[in-house]
């Protein structure tokens, strides 16, 4: 099932602790929270982090959590309790001590490239400042990836949803914890803070094991970077967007990917 | 009884509302269910305007005093009420929240000019009653009504699973 075994081997050869997923594999990457709409003085969500093809099945590999970033309702970081990783998933708890919306994300930002030395092609990771003397045909590309989900204790708030301006992001127009089956949910995509127009968005219902159809809806962002999601059935949904520009005219290439899990509640 | 209440309003200055005598009486039937594990349902009673916006939460019956857990944790199971009203409220709410109730028919009366109804403006409304039960189901029952009532009016609707008859009587 490995779509790009060569690249995976490359990743292993480089000893990367966190593969840049958009380059390293084609599996869906997701954070699945135990609840998205919660109540009370305080509460907790437990989150599974995994990469797999089937949704939301633990059958491929866990996601590394070293790039976990949780933003609380006041915009400040929230410390998770990392529970560890099994063969197929990793797990963490997020304490919800303040009322409002939390943005839970795995974020990576890195540069990978290659160069030629003595007629052989070599690859590197990082800025490329420390390449050996005599390296030629240097090319590099910057890679961002973001895998997210959202949970809310009490009433939804927007502070944690503000764009970071880096990589591909989804800025909800409809609050991600105020979405129900049968009503339109509008999401806006930004690339480095600018509207990401004309990108393909893959939108998939969970529960792939229990149906024959892949259940994939392909959407395209409009000029403002917006798409409208409107599933008729309640459930957990997965969304994926990516953009890619090859290196040209001395400019490094650029790859960015974004995935999210959204829960559509029944009305 | 009516007289003494009207008098009480006059004494507290609330009689400024000329329609202080208008009232709505509801009865909500919680059905007796033969299930292996029964817990009393959480119930929310609220009013929505013609646009579907919640304008008053009248009653919320939940595990107010559950210890050590926070009974408010399961309020979102009444998902329609939670989305339209509950999540923006502070729980428990005086005069609105009460402990869960046993199977049977429970009656409440709300008066114009008095909390939690306060002064409900004239219009078309829906009385909404939603019940959610632990290890059980969830159901929403709607009874439309006009306010203020022009005469003694009764309306009712029936749930199929988590709620029995919901009756609304409005009088001027």
Task: Look at residue B20 in the predicted model and tell me its pLDDT.
Answer: 53
Q: What is the mean pLDDT of residues B138-156?
A: 96
For residue A19, give every residue at least 6 positions away whose Cβ sits within 8 Å of its Cβ, in sequence order, or none. A8, A11, A25
Q: What is the mean pLDDT of residues A100-104?
A: 98
A265 touches chain B (CB under 8 A): yes
Task: Look at residue A7 in the predicted model and tell me its pLDDT.
Answer: 38
Task: Look at residue A25 in the predicted model and tell me its pLDDT.
Answer: 55
Alpha helices, DSSP H only, in B66-166? 79-84
Q: What is the mean pLDDT of residues A193-202?
A: 97
| Domain ranges across chain A | 5-264
What is the C-alpha to C-alpha distance for residues A39 and B46, in angstroms, rounded to an integer?
19
Q: How confident is the model at residue B170 (pLDDT cuts 50, 70, 90)?
A: very high
What's the mean per-residue pLDDT of chain A?
89
Task: Look at residue B17 in the predicted model and tell me its pLDDT.
Answer: 46
Q: Which domain holds residue B52?
A: 22-171
For the cut 70, the answer to whether the pLDDT of residue B10 exceeds it is: no
Report the 10 Å Cβ neighbour count for A136: 10
A97 touches chain B (CB under 8 A): no
Report the 10 Å Cβ neighbour count for B99: 13
Please tell me which of the candidates B70, B79, B88 has its beta carbon nearest to residue A40.
Answer: B70
Residue B84 distance to chain A (closest CA, Å):
10
Task: Look at residue A245 in the predicted model and tell me its pLDDT.
Answer: 87
In what helix (H) or strand (E) does residue B9 lie, and over which residues does it extend? helix B2-12
For the cut 80, the answer to whether the pLDDT of residue A18 exceeds it is: no
For the cut 80, the answer to whether the pLDDT of residue A129 exceeds it is: no
Q: Give the 3-state secondary structure percentages of chain A, helix then strand then coil, rounded to 5.
A: 5, 50, 40
* Alpha carbon B160 to chain centroid, angstroms: 19
Whether A39 and B72 lie within 8 Å, measured CB to CB: yes
A129 touches chain B (CB under 8 A): no
Contact A248, A137 (CB under 8 A): no
What are the structure tokens assigned to A167, written together? 């990589």
CATH number at residue B60: 2.60.40
Measured CA distances, A98 to A73, A145, A208 (Å): 7, 28, 35
Whether B91 and A39 lie within 8 Å, measured CB to CB: yes
For the cut 80, the answer to whether the pLDDT of residue B103 exceeds it is: yes
Interface test with A, best of B76, B77, B80, B88 (most A CBs within 10 A): B76
What angle (nearest 5°) sits at the alpha carbon of residue B140, between those of residues B139 and B143? 145
Q: How confident is the model at residue A125 (pLDDT cuts 50, 70, 90)?
A: confident
Q: Please state which of the ranges A102-116, A120-134, B63-77 shows the lowest mean pLDDT.
A: A120-134
Whether A40 and B79 lie within 8 Å, measured CB to CB: no
Whether B87 and A265 lie within 8 Å, measured CB to CB: no
Interface test with B, best of A35, A36, A40 (most B CBs within 10 A): A40
For the cut 50, the answer to whether the pLDDT of residue B100 exceeds it is: yes
* In-domain check, residue B16: no
Residue A22 distance to chain B (closest CA, Å):
36
The total number of structural domains in chain B stands at 1
For residue A47, give every residue at least 6 positions away whose Cβ sits within 8 Å of its Cβ, in sequence order, or none. A31, A32, A33, A34, A80, A91, A92, A93, A94, A104, A149
Q: What is the mean pLDDT of residues A157-184?
A: 97
Beta B165-171 vs B23-30: how paired, if at all? antiparallel
What is the C-alpha to C-alpha distance for residues B141 and A50, in angstroms, rounded to an integer?
40
Q: What percent of chain A has pLDDT over 70?
A: 90
The DSSP secondary structure of B27-60, one letter per residue, reads EEEE-----SS--PPEEEEEEEETTS-EEEEEEE
Q: How confident is the model at residue B119 (pLDDT cuts 50, 70, 90)?
A: very high
Q: How confident is the model at residue B68 (pLDDT cuts 50, 70, 90)?
A: confident
For the cut 60, the answer to whether the pLDDT of residue B16 exceeds it is: no
For residue A178, give every residue at least 6 positions away whose Cβ sits within 8 Å of its Cβ, in sequence order, or none. A156, B83
Interface test with A, best of B73, B84, B85, B140 (most A CBs within 10 A): B73
Contact B120, B113 (CB under 8 A): no
Task: Look at residue A114 in the predicted model and tell me its pLDDT.
Answer: 85
Q: Please state which of the ranges A20-34, A105-119, B41-55, B107-121 shows the lowest mean pLDDT.
A: A20-34
Please tell me which of the candidates B70, B82, B83 has its beta carbon nearest to residue A41.
Answer: B70
């Amino acid at each position: 099932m490995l779509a790009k075994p060569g690249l995976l081997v490359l990743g292993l050869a480089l000893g990367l602790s966190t593969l840049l997923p958009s380059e390293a594999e084609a599996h869906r990457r997701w954070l699945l929270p135990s609840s998205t709409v919660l109540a009370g003085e305080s509460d907790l969500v437990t989150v599974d982090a995994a990469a797999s093809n089937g949704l939301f099945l633990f059958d491929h590999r866990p996601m590394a959590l070293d790039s976990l970033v949780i933003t609380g309702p006041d915009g400040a970081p929230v410390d998770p309790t990392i529970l560890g990783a099994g063969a197929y998933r990793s797990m963490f708890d997020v304490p919800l001590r303040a009322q409002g919306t939390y943005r839970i994300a795995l974020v990576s930002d890195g540069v990978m490239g290659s160069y030629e030395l003595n007629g052989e092609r070599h690859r590197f990771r990082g800025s490329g400042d420390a390449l050996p003397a005599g390296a030629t045909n240097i090319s590099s590309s910057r890679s961002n990836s973001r895998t997210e989900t959202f949970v809310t204790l009490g009433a939804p708030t927007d502070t944690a949803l503000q764009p970071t301006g880096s990589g591909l992001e989804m800025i909800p127009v409809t609050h991600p914890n105020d979405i129900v089956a049968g009503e339109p949910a509008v999401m806006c995509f930004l690339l480095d803070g600018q509207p990401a127009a004309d990108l393909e968005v893959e939108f998939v219902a969970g529960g792939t094991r229990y149906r024959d159809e892949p259940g994939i809806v392909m959407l395209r962002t409009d000029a403002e970077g917006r798409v409208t999601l409107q599933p008729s059935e309640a459930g957990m949904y997965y969304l994926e967007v990516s953009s890619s520009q090859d290196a040209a005219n001395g400019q490094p290439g650029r790859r960015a990917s974004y995935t999210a899990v959204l829960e559509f509640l029944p009305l | 009884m009516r007289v003494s209440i009207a008098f009480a309003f006059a004494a507290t200055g609330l009689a400024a509302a000329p329609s202080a005598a208008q009232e709505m009486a509801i009865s909500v039937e919680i059905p007796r269910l033969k299930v292996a594990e029964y817990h009393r349902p959480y119930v929310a009673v609220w009013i929505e305007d013609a646009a579907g916006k919640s304008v008053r939460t009248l009653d919320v019956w939940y595990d107010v005093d559950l210890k050590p857990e926070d009974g408010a944790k399961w309020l979102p199971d009444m998902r329609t009420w939670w989305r339209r009203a509950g999540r923006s409220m502070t729980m428990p709410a005086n005069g609105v929240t009460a402990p869960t109730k046993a199977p049977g028919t429970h009656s409440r009366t709300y008066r114009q000019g008095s909390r939690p109804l306060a002064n409900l403006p004239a219009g078309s409304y829906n009385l909404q009653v939603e019940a959610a039960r632990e290890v059980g189901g969830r159901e929403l029952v709607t009874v439309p009504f006009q306010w203020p009532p022009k005469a003694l009016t009764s309306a009712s609707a029936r749930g199929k699973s988590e709620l029995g008859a919901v009756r609304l009587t409005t009088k001027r």
